[in-house]
Amino acid sequence: MTDLKDDEPSILESCITAQPSTDFHSPVLSADDVGSDKQSTRGVTSFRCNISEFPNRNTATNDSQGPFNCVHQTKIPQEIMAVDSAILAINAGSSSVKFSLFSRDGKNLLVSADVKGLTSSLTTLNYTAFFTEDGSTIEEIEGQEVEVKDHEDAFKVFVGHLTSDDREDKKVLESGDKIEVTCHRIVHGGASPEPLVINDETYKRLDDLSDLAPLHNHPALLIVKACMKVLPKSKNVAYFDSSFHTTIPEHIFTYPVDPSLAKEKKIRKYGFHGLSYSFITKTVAKHLGKKVDDVNIVALHLGSGASACCIKGGKSLDTSMGLTPLEGLPGGTRSGTIDPSVPFHLLSNSSDMSSKAAKELHLSKAEQMLNKESGWKALCGTTDFGEVTKKAFADQPDEMCKIAFDLFVDRIIGYIGSYYVKLGGKVDALVFAGGIGEKGEKLRAAVGKYVECLGFQIDESKNGKAKGKETVEAISAEGGEGEGKKVLVVKTDEQGECARQLVENPPKFD
């Protein structure tokens, strides 16, 4: 591991988000309230992360060590020093937006925040700001209700709070003009393997791909447009989820349809969650003490959007998502893979344009139904898989929630089995990541029972303690037939991966 500077602490620990006190309560916060006295804050233990020291470190580490040289701190700073230049990384998901603000050299995490629940009745803001000198927390908001209607509103609430003049004693930036580069996680980049500097011309190219990822590209581009207005001095760079999967062989990414039409329409498997899988691959390699090129894993990114990835020699060999994120595993509002004729049986006018979707998305009624009205929402009436799990294991189980839980397990183990065979049984680790993967103890246990035959054995006690708070948590049982095959829980970091790539390989700006 890279040595720390002389004035830095020598004990390296993982990045663990402090837990809120049980009596904490927040009023509803709207964009107009940001920075006002309606806002509640408190101080807690925190950490500092050094993303610039992450690359090319392939030595083994303890489970408690994260890949970003994260250092716990409890000191209270005497004076807050705002930084002169920063990197903002934005991750627009289907139901949330995550924000990470780094110092421009990538050595310090300044702010970690998110707005969650964009598809539910309750939308909340979580916001933690760190003092750059010693990493101690200078402000934390946990679960504050906010009034937002879409991803663009979520961005404005975050920036409004970050730059509010009413918080001089807690500001890590003097103004939004200090954000030099904004990294945007964009789900669909087509076959483009490289990050893309966003201008008027490239923005249109990205917008043309929105039909292929309607839950992600369109919201992300709304944030890009808002960023250009709200942060006019910041340069915008797109980092694509599909880029990691450009190594998938042709016979795997090809669909058995008319080749000439497929070429014309660019119809093929692209794959997504690539930034997460890139982070997972490097993190697992470091944890196992292997070079990235020597790592074979089956990785599961399980959240409102869920996918599986077969990674051979540190590169994507196959993944469950396809032309769009709709293929593969079901999710909060997505059906996942089903018989293609199902929409025609459910909807007599399935090809008609949907009146529910935004006009610029051009979604058919079938696409609207499968992307936004299916999954756990259709089966259980909620997009929250934690709620589905709770009801499935209640004293009087909810029948549909139990079906949804078992269905998800069944689809997951199908991909694990397929990818295990594709890797010839030479699998270093089975990895759970994403919100459900990190926190879903019961789901991991249920999957584990099925994959014991492949040599993966989960320790019940370790599984119960793993809550996705550390960067890597090993939950595999020691000894037995599965010895050597690890089961890991990885706290993935797509924003951190964007920032790392920016620091390692800065794009050429005009």
Catalytic residue (one of 33, 114, 241, 384): 241
424 among annotated binding-site residues: no
Coil vs helix vs strand at 359: helix
Q: Which two tokens stand for residue 412?
A: 């997951």
Task: Give the C-alpha separation, 364 to 351, whole Å.
Answer: 5
302 among annotated binding-site residues: yes
Question: What H or E segment, with its residue span, contains residue 375?
Answer: helix 375-380
362 among annotated binding-site residues: no
- Residue pair 306/440 in contact (Cβ under 8 Å)? The answer is no
303 among annotated binding-site residues: yes
- Residue pair 409/401 in contact (Cβ under 8 Å)? The answer is no
Q: Is 241 a catalytic residue?
A: yes
Nearest residue to 435 (alpha-carbon basis) of 423, 427, 425, 444: 444
176 among annotated binding-site residues: no
91 among annotated binding-site residues: yes
Question: What H or E segment, with its residue span, contains residue 421?
Answer: helix 399-422
Question: What H or E segment, with its residue span, contains residue 500?
Answer: helix 494-504
- Residue pair 227/182 in contact (Cβ under 8 Å)? The answer is yes
- Residue pair 110/102 in contact (Cβ under 8 Å)? The answer is yes
Beta bridge partners of 429: 297, 486
151 among annotated binding-site residues: no
For residue 225, what are the CA distances in angstroms to 7, 218, 236, 357, 489? Answer: 41, 11, 10, 19, 35
304 among annotated binding-site residues: yes
479 among annotated binding-site residues: no
Question: How far is Cα of residue 362 from the mean position of the Cα atoms in its chain?
Answer: 26
Q: Which two tokens stand for residue 322?
A: 């396809």
- Residues contributing to the annotated binding site for Mg(2+): 91, 494
- Residues contributing to the annotated binding site for ATP: 98, 301-305
- Residues contributing to the annotated binding site for substrate: 185
- Residues contributing to the annotated binding site: 91, 98, 185, 301-305, 494
Q: Indicate which residues carry an active-site annotation.
A: 241
